[in-house]
Amino acid sequence: MTQLPTGASASGSLTATTVTLPGHGGDTIEAYVAMPEGDTRRGGVVVIHHLPGYDRPTKEIARRFAELGYDAVCPNLYSREAPGASPDDAAAVARSNGGVPDERLVGDVAGAVEYLRALPTSNGKVGVIGHCSGGRQTVLAACHLDVDAAVDCYGAFVTGIIPPNLPLKVTTLVDQLPELRAPLLGLFGAEDSHPSPEQVAELEQLLTDLGKDFEFHSYEGAGHAFFAVNRPSYNVAAANDGWERIESFFARHIGG
């Protein structure tokens, strides 16, 4: 059993609310914050939501981190395009606009990291996690920001080849990987095609060549989005093992 960090409330009690914080360019953006009960010093986690938006399942992930003993914040990356809109409508607008520009993503995550470190409960350490498009954005953020741990859950287009004529403004992160400045945990489905096992192997080789601190796990029988409890892709065994690895990884790098 994974030992809970010192910030965890034995009862699992927590509070969650919506705040605003300064994002990229000083823009005010919305964010969902979940915090354990009590004033024990603890680490913080930035949860980067997936392309489908700042939705209920992502907020559940933020609350789970609070239950595990971390202050968690999930910035609404679509605050500018569609303030106050329902998550799926906001995601539709963002997708139609070509997605979230990388520079803006880094600025918004930087705002969330600063918010966490300024909390009276902060131990100064912050981790970042994202699934799907958020997985790629987690790696991106860890290449540009001083964070203490990063978890990439099946992020596509970190390596590989971007299909031509792609309307979304996305590039691989190969040229940015030398700047990766945090230990990286990667969790992937062996049956996934975005990222494919070959793309994961390419990333593994690049990080090995660069001498980076990383740990990858690929689950046989699991496809993309195996953590998503509300989708047919949910894979209990992979998700349970993945959560245990996340708990252990964060306890090691941002706990205490």
Question: What residue ranges bind another protein (CB under 8 A)?
Answer: 50-52, 55, 81-82, 85-86, 88-93, 95-96, 99, 132-133, 156-157, 163, 166-168, 170, 192-194, 223-225, 231-233
Contact assessment for residue 222 and residue 235, using Cβ atoms and an 8 Å cutoff: yes
Least distance from another protein to the Cβ atom of residue 95, Å = 6
- Sorted by sequence, the CB contacts under 8 Å of residue 64 that are 6+ apart come out as none
Of the pair 89, 204, the CB lying nearest another protein is at 89
For the bound state, the minimum distance from the C-beta of residue 78 to another protein, rounded and expressed in Å, comes to 9
Alpha-carbon distances of 178 from 60, 107, 189, 244, rounded to whole Å: 33, 20, 25, 28
For another protein, which is the closer residue by CB, 83 or 178?
Answer: 83
Query: In angstroms, what CA-CA distances link 238 with 39, 67, 149, 217, 249?
Result: 33, 21, 21, 10, 16
- Pick the closer one to another protein by CB: 51 or 201: 51
In the complex, minimum distance from the CB of residue 131 to another protein, in angstroms, rounded to a whole number:
10
What is the torsional sign of CA 254, 32, 48, 194?
A: positive
**Residue closer to another protein, measured from CB, 55 or 241:** 55
Considering the complex, state which of residue 119 and residue 168 has its C-beta at the smaller distance from another protein: 168
Provide the minimum distance between the beta carbon of 115 and another protein in the complex, in angstroms, as a whole number: 25
Q: Least distance from C-beta 43 to another protein, angstroms? A: 28
Sign, CA dihedral 179-182-136-78, equals: negative
Residue 222: other Cβ atoms inside 10 A: 25
